[in-house]
Chains A and B, each alone.
Chain A
C-alpha cells in the first residue's frame, strides 16, 4: 500500500541549492524542503507556529531557517531559537515546527511522515539529474503508464527491450539494455503527481546530449499520460518486474 508512512521522493537533489527553500505537498500536506548552508536537506511542516506563515517563503541563514513574517529563527531540530522582537527571551521548547526524517538517495530528497520510519530506499549508485515532471493525474495513473513505456538508449547501439522494475512503491527503474532512468513518484495530491527523473550512470557519459535525449523521452511520457486518447505516438509495450 502506498501510504504516508512509506518513504517518498519530494525533489531532485540538484534542484535545491544550499541556503534555499521550496514548498511542496505530499498527500496534500504542505511541506517545506530546505537545505542549510552546510548542505544538509530538511523536510518540515510548511507552517510557522507563530502566525502560520509558510516557512518555504522564509530565508535560510547558516543552519537556521527564518520565517519571512516576523523573523522567528528555527534550528535544524525545528526548535525556535530566536525571536527578533524579544531578543533576550529564552525561547521555550514548545515553539517547535514538526520535522520529518529526510534522506538523500539516488539523486533525490526523500521523506516519510511516519514517526517510526523503515529504512530509506537503498541508494542506486551514480545518477545524473534529469528533471521533475508535474502531472495532472493520480499517482496510480502515472504508475500504470510506466508499465507501457519504451525507452531508446542513448549511448548503446541498437534497440533493447524496455523493462520497468518496481524498486519500491515510490521508485521505479526504466531500463533499456545497460541504460536506464530512475523515476521517483510523489503523490502531491489525490489528482496531482510529480515524477522525479534521474539518469542512472555516470555524468561523463550522459551530461549534455544524453540528458537532452532522455528529457525528450520524459516530455513525451508526460504528454502520453495527460493525453491517453492520443494513440498516434503510443509507446511499445514493456514488461513490469517486481523486486
Chain B
C-alpha cells in the first residue's frame, strides 16, 4: 500500500549533509521526496511510496548520517492521493 508521510527530524544536524543523505535513501527505497523547511536544528520533509519502505526510510534517517545527531522524530501519516 502506498502512503504519504511527513517527518520532522530535529537535533544537532548539518542540513546539507542530512538532506543529501535523505535524498539518497529515498532514491534507494524508490520513494518520492519533497524537502520542506531546512535548518541545522530541524528538517521537514515528506515522502511517498510503499508503506514498508517509508518505515525503512524513517529508520535510516532516525540514525542519520555520521555527522548528524537526530534527537527527535515526529511523523504524520496520510494516504497517498
Docked pose: A95 CA to B30 CA in angstroms = 9
Docked pose: A89 CA to B29 CA in angstroms = 12
Is B40 part of the contact surface with A, judged by Cβ < 8 Å?
Answer: no
Is the CB–CB distance between B52 and A94 below 8 Å? Answer: no
CB-contacts of A80-95 with B (<8 A): 86, 89-90, 92-95
Is the CB–CB distance between B52 and A86 below 8 Å? Answer: yes
Is the CB–CB distance between B52 and A92 below 8 Å? Answer: no
CB neighbours (8 Å) of A89 from chain B are: 50, 52-53
Is B79 part of the contact surface with A, judged by Cβ < 8 Å?
Answer: no
Is the CB–CB distance between B27 and A94 below 8 Å? Answer: yes
Is B76 part of the contact surface with A, judged by Cβ < 8 Å?
Answer: no
CB-contacts of B31-74 with A (<8 A): 50, 52-53
Interface of A (DSSP majority class): loop
Interface string of B4-44 (1 = CB under 8 A from A): 00000000000000000000000111100000000000000
CB neighbours (8 Å) of B50 from chain A are: 89-90, 92
Q: Number of contact residues on A: which range applies?
A: under 10
A49, A94, A95 — which one has the most chain B CB atoms within 10 A of its CB? Answer: A94
Query: Could you count the A-B residue pairs with CB atoms below 8 Å apart for me: how many are there?
Result: 16
Docked pose: A92 CA to B52 CA in angstroms = 11
**B interface residues, how many (CB within 8 angstroms):** 7
CB neighbours (8 Å) of B53 from chain A are: 89, 92
Q: Which residue of A lies closest to B1 (CB)?
A: A88
Docked pose: A129 CA to B52 CA in angstroms = 48
Docked pose: A49 CA to B28 CA in angstroms = 9
Is the CB–CB distance between A93 and B52 below 8 Å? Answer: no
Q: Distance (Å) between the CB of A118 and the closest chain B CB?
A: 32
Docked pose: A89 CA to B52 CA in angstroms = 7
Docked pose: A49 CA to B30 CA in angstroms = 14
Docked pose: A89 CA to B53 CA in angstroms = 9
Interface string of A90-106 (1 = CB under 8 A from B): 10111100000000000
Q: Could you name 16 residue pairs across A and B whose Cβ atoms are closer than 8 Å? A: A49-B28, A86-B52, A89-B50, A89-B52, A89-B53, A90-B50, A92-B29, A92-B30, A92-B50, A92-B53, A93-B30, A94-B27, A94-B28, A94-B29, A94-B30, A95-B28
Chain A residues within CB distance 8 Å of chain B: 49, 86, 89-90, 92-95
